[in-house]
Each structure stands twice: as C-alpha cells, then as structure tokens.
Structure 1
C-alpha cells in the first residue's frame, strides 16, 4: 500500500469501551485523545496548504475536526494545520518540501474527541456486549419530531440507552418510541412506548410538499411508504377522480388533490378522519377532497353514486393567482369566457382510480365491486373502467410465486377467472422475514362492475 493511502489508517477514532451505567449514560466516559502531527504555518499560507494537491491528501480529514487551529503556545501567532500522520517521515518528499517552505516547523498536537463527536451507532457499539453489536439498531424512522424504532427482544434491556443516544444525536427529534408487537386490529395503529424524550404524539410531518398533522399513537402512518405514496400519485393525472378507500390522514389523497385531482377520501378510524379533515383544510384542498368516515365496503358501494349525483366541477388547470382569477372573472362577465357552460359540459362524474392501502385485508374488500355499475344511468359514464391499486401482503418470497398467489386471491374475491386487463404487480417493501408487501394494479373487469345479479 502506498504511503499516501495508508497515511490516515493508524488514526483510531473508535470510542473507548464503556463500562458505566446504562441510564443515564456517563457522557464524560466517552473521551479519547489522538496525537497527530501538525505543521506551523503563517495565517496567510494556510489556504495554500489546504488546497495543494501535494498536501491536502495528508490533512487530518476527520469529521467535526477543524484542520486548522490556533497554536496553544502562541494563540496570536502561526496557525497549526493538522495532519493525518504522526511523523514527518510518513510524508512524501515533495509534500515535506512544500510544508517546510511554507511553514515554520512541525509540532505534535492532541486531538480530543468526546461524546459529541461520535454518532449514536458508534457509541452503541462501545456500549453493547460483543454478541449484540452486529445486529444493533443503526437508525430509525422519523415522523415529525418522533423517532420510532422496532427493537428486537435482546435489545429491550438497552432501550433507554438507545433512546437517549438517538435523542442526543438528532436535534429535530424530541421523542423516541419503540413500537410494540401489538397492533390495533380495527384501526391499524401500533401500540408504542416512549423510551426517551417527551410523551408528545401529535406531530407535524412534511411529505410531497404537503403538511400533515396527526396523533401518531392513534392513527396509521408509515414514513417508509413515502416512495409508494408518490408513485401512486404520479399515476393519477390532473383532472381525474381518485377514490381512496383507506385514506388514513391523507398521504395519497392530499398530494393528489394538490396535483389537480378530485378525491373521495374515506377512513373508518374517527381519529384519522378528524386529522384528514384538518389536513385537507391546512393544505387548502377543500374544494378538491371530500372526506368520509365509514366502513370500506359501504364506501365502495356508495362512492359511484355519490360522484355521479354530485359531480366535481370541471378541472380548469393549476390554481390561479388572485390577479389571474380576477382577470378571468372579468372576461367571463364580458362574455369572452363562457365558464359556466364549459364547466357544466366537463364536470367530473366518474371515478378513474381506486387506491386500497390496507395490505392485510384489502383484497377481501374486492368482492364489493360486484355490481357497482348495475345502474345503467351511472354505467353510461364509464366508457373505461377504473384502475384499482390494491396493496397486499404475501408470504411467497419468489416474485413468480408471489404474483401467482396475489392473482389467485384477487380473482377469487372478484369472482372472475380471467386474465386481468392491464395488470401490474410491484413489490413495495419487505415488511419482515418471510413477509412482502406488494401493490397490484388492474382495470376493474366490466363483467364484475356491471353484474346485475
């Protein structure tokens, strides 16, 4: 190995082994002194040393450690440029010559690392017994000011220590919770315990340029689904109508509405419904989103009639500024824009997409679509059947077997054994060992929707 590549390898920055109390931690025990070589350089030459190709590769290069410091023996004199070596002999001849020509000699300097230097993950490696280090938690999912972790049983004795570390090392986090195994079977939210910080569960979370407020302990929210939320929203085009059967607090509904979609949003959980209504108002999409709090089956049965009988106004493009809106109103008053006639002709009275994000049981709700368009007057609006985006779990780990499993369950619920039109199956995430989350997207078969029996 070349001298340049090995120059920093001897700097051991791992935290010292910790043998103090687990909670609260004795932070003063985390201190380490690392002797390094420093070159004395006049203040006006430090920039040259820092940026020269010959010398910058030898800089100390430690995060949170400034490469230029004052000389403790002469605070108002030359600066010390800290190097990642302990002896001038480790420098290349060219680098040594340059430092000698620009500097006034070498000295040794002690870099002191303390609790604030190391990350939570690094400190945890110093605290845990050796047999627990490899699988130790390295991070968390953040929802607003709350960090939530899922600790395995072997780490439960260290939960307060883990909570303190995550709290100390992340300034935006005010509360750390551990999700328990129990989950509310009706409303899907997890039971959790506070392991650090304040027991404040009402969060303000930002996603997709939207602001969501909710009580994290009483509603379902998963920040890891951000990519999936965005993917579905991108599939729905401005001017279309989306029916969100299990809307929660609005992670699909509100971004879609801000994009220009009309949304029928439903959730059975009254707490989710309350926050959904608040988020609709806070994000200024009250004209685009209609909220409901009822069973998913009732919502599916009724939503076709609701949209048909009370259609959404025509989509007129992105929201206009007040000035542009006033100008358009003046043109309409002068007869240049027949806005009312245009709106009447293009009102949105049919549903283009359904999203069903209840992966544990959503497939079981698909039988409700049988006969939803049996009414001829409503059916006439549907020259094209709606797309359904149904989330689900499967225990099959191989993609081909997972697809067969999901297709069979979907076709059994729909009551048709046909090749689903426009079907797309996408893996969303691995939920647990032996448990995968998928989304199956397909066009609702007309023989299912129009069944008059």
Structure 2
C-alpha cells in the first residue's frame, strides 16, 4: 500500500520508437495511458484541486489538463490522477474521496502525433547512433504564414531529410516550405543553393526588419535573418545626410534602413535578382529619392562611384517623414510653388562591404580612387575626412587578439598600406565551429586614395 511519503512513479509520455524509418506515419505516434480519475461536480472541481490531502496524487503532464469534461455527464468533471493503481493512493486521500461521496473511475489518456514536439518525434524516428541531439534548429524568412524554414543538415541526417522537413512543417503552422541549404554556393552570385524537403516550392517571402519591408525570392538571393542586429548596429553609426555606398547590397538590408535614417545610398549588387528585388523594395518603402540601384561588378563599382557622386549628387531632401506625417503637413500648409531642390553632398561618408568570404580581395580597388578628383579646387574642402570602410570578413582565429592581427594583416596587405593602429574591429557571430565573422571599420588612408 502506498504510504504517501514517496512521489508517484513518473508516467512515461515518450512517443513510441520506430524500428525502421520506412514505418514513418503520423498514425503510428499514438500512446494510450491508463489512469484513475475522480468524478466531481463542475462547481467542486476547483476546490478538489486545492485539497492538501490530494497533493502529489494529481496528474501533472505538460500540455495535458488535470481537469477534463465528463463526456457522459456535462454537469461533471473528471479530475485526473497520476496513477492507474488505487493502492498507490494514500489512505488519507482515499478516505477523503469516500467521505466526499465521490467515485474513482478508470480513464484512458491518449497522446498522439500532435502532442509531441519536433524534438520528441525526431528522437523517436532517428537511429540512436546519430549525433547527440536532434536536427531541429532552423531559421526562417518571411512572416504571416508565408515563412520558408531553412536547415543545414549534417551528412548523417541526409537519409532522413524529407522526414525531418515534414515534421518541421507539421509542427510549425506558420511555415509553408522547408529547405535544406546545400554546401554549394552559387559561384558568381554567392547565395546558397538549396533543396526542397517539405511543403510547396514557393520561395517569394516578405520580411519586416528595421522598420522596412523586404520582399524577395529566397531561392535566388542571399538573406540571413541572424544578421538583423548587425544591420541595426552598423546603420546606427550613420548620420542623416551621409552618403553611403553599399558595394554588395543584396536586396537592401543595410541600404533601406540607412535611407530611412536620413542617409542617401548607392546600392550595388552583381546578382540581377538581388537588384530587381532591391528596386521593388525601394519603391514599396517610398525611398526612391534616397536610393540608387546598380548592378555591376564590385571592383568596377568602387573605382567609378566616387566620380558618379561628385558629378551627380543626390538632391538635398531633408529628414525622412512618414506618409502620415506628410499628409498632416499638407493639410496644415497652403500649397507652395515648388523650388528646385538644393544640391546634396558630393562626399561619400561610408562604404559597406558585406561579402565576408571575399570582401578583402576588393580593397585594392580603392587605390588611386581620387586620382581624377584630387586636383579639383573643391576637393580639399569636400574631403577633409576620408570615407570609412566597413569590411566584413571571416577568420579561423577564434581568439579576439589573434583574429585582430589576422584581419588587420590581410587588410593591410590588400591595401599595401598598414592599418594596424586604425579603425575598430567588431565581432559579428560564429558561423561554424572554427570560423568567425567580423566587421572591421577604418578610414581609408589618404596615401591609398590619392
């Protein structure tokens, strides 16, 4: 007989284990657990739950209610107990139930596929000799039920990739498509190739980030949701009125927020799919007067863009105002005759180079960048300060000091000019067990530009 001094045995709620992956079927995941329940009137159910003598005997299983409706009598509730054996109830508990005129009945708790988590289902599916943990980590692109989930599966999981994709799809109602990012990176345009694991082959998504709306084809451009905070960090360094050149702009995760902040931006990318969607995003976010889109090789773009800004500066357009603010201003003020906009800045303040795999190799393109402008009479006044480059890169050095030496040496070699003591190195994130991503920001040396 149970004394009441020891807890009831833990109920095994783990899903049944598959002996073969070929057996995968949602209907296989079903488990019937016999329990005891106490029939009580609906008004007394809450009081019954708080009775001290029953403490320790009530059922406590995640996502399962302790009190359920009695299907045979709508006026009654069933309070579930954590055992199927009355002998495991303490004498005091059984005496209380009898004195209250209550009845103990049998109850069958059924758990099915919907009950278990993605981790629990995959643990039951995958062989025990796979790596510790289940491959349930994924990132998403999109929102409002139009998300694409992308995973990076290790080789040992590839035999189960479609099941993994299907379970992720089943367990996340907002996801419509699950893909596996392959190790292959598009040679020219540097986005990940991917394969469909589950769901529909639809990859056009919309993402809200930093007050901007981005729409793009996830299968043809590069997008990384994990860089959200890095986008915000870098844009926060810009001042309204700055001219920002984004050399590898993608669909605009730096360019659009910078324009929203009050900068003017020249955004370039070699991938025509990226520039197509960047232009769409510029229009959708009402930033056509602040962003110009280019589709060129990064080295060519760097060499000519300084002259482009000098000869064709953006008109000065003032602070960014929302559509609502603009409508309010129009209602308050009489319509005035438009005057030609004032000429904006000829000076580039920042270069953004977010292509960490190879951005450093583009730094030689800055050599002699001002050769055609340096003799212009306005040049010394316009470029009292040299542009700042924000160059992203990878390193295998996992200690900050070692990474600092490695990156500065590579940048100095590319520029043929030492930057050992200049600029700031910022750790972005770890992208692999032996690979880190950094951003080094430094003012371009005059001897390089001139």
The within-5 A match list for 1:135-284 is: 135-144=133-142, 145-284=147-286
Most deviating of 100-109 and 38-47: 100-109
Counterpart residue number, 2:29: 30
Structure 1, unpaired ranges of 5+: 334-338
CA contact (8 A) 1:219 1:271 kept: yes
Structure 2, unpaired ranges of 5+: none
Shift of 1:325: 2.8
Q: Secondary structure at the match of 1:344?
A: coil
Deviations 1:257-286 (A, max 9, x none): 223322111101111111111111122221
Shift of 1:327: 5.3
Shift of 1:380: 2.5
CA contact (8 A) 2:408 2:419 kept: no
Q: Please state if 1:67 is matched with 2:70.
A: no
Counterparts of 1:204 and 1:113, CA distance in 2: 36
Shift of 1:433: 3.0
Distance 1:331 1:404, change over 3 A: same
Shift of 1:383: 2.6
Counterparts of 1:357 and 1:6, CA distance in 2: 60
Shift of 1:208: 2.7
Counterparts of 1:207 and 1:56, CA distance in 2: 48
Distance 1:160 1:317, change over 3 A: closer
From 298, 301, 313, give the equivalent of 1:299.
301
Shift of 1:100: 8.3
Shift of 1:202: 2.3
Counterparts of 1:29 and 1:199, CA distance in 2: 28
TM-score normalised by the chain length of structure 2? 0.86
Shift of 1:398: 1.9
Most deviating of 206-215 and 120-129: 206-215
The within-5 A match list for 1:42-81 is: 42-48=41-47, 60-72=59-71, 74-81=72-79
Shift of 1:30: 0.6
Counterpart residue number, 1:315: 318
Distance 1:173 1:316, change over 3 A: closer
Count matched residues.
Answer: 438
Counterparts of 2:399 and 2:318, CA distance in 1: 43
Distance 1:22 1:230, change over 3 A: farther
Counterpart residue number, 1:382: 383
CA RMSD, aligned part only? 3.3
Counterpart residue number, 1:359: 356
Counterpart residue number, 1:118: 116
Counterpart residue number, 1:336: none
Most deviating of 405-414 and 91-100: 91-100
CA contact (8 A) 2:364 2:415 kept: yes
CA contact (8 A) 1:59 1:67 kept: yes
Shift of 1:296: 1.0
Counterpart residue number, 1:109: 107
Shift of 1:290: 1.0
Counterparts of 1:191 and 1:296, CA distance in 2: 22
CA contact (8 A) 2:16 2:29 kept: yes
Distance 1:151 1:258, change over 3 A: same
CA contact (8 A) 1:16 1:30 kept: yes
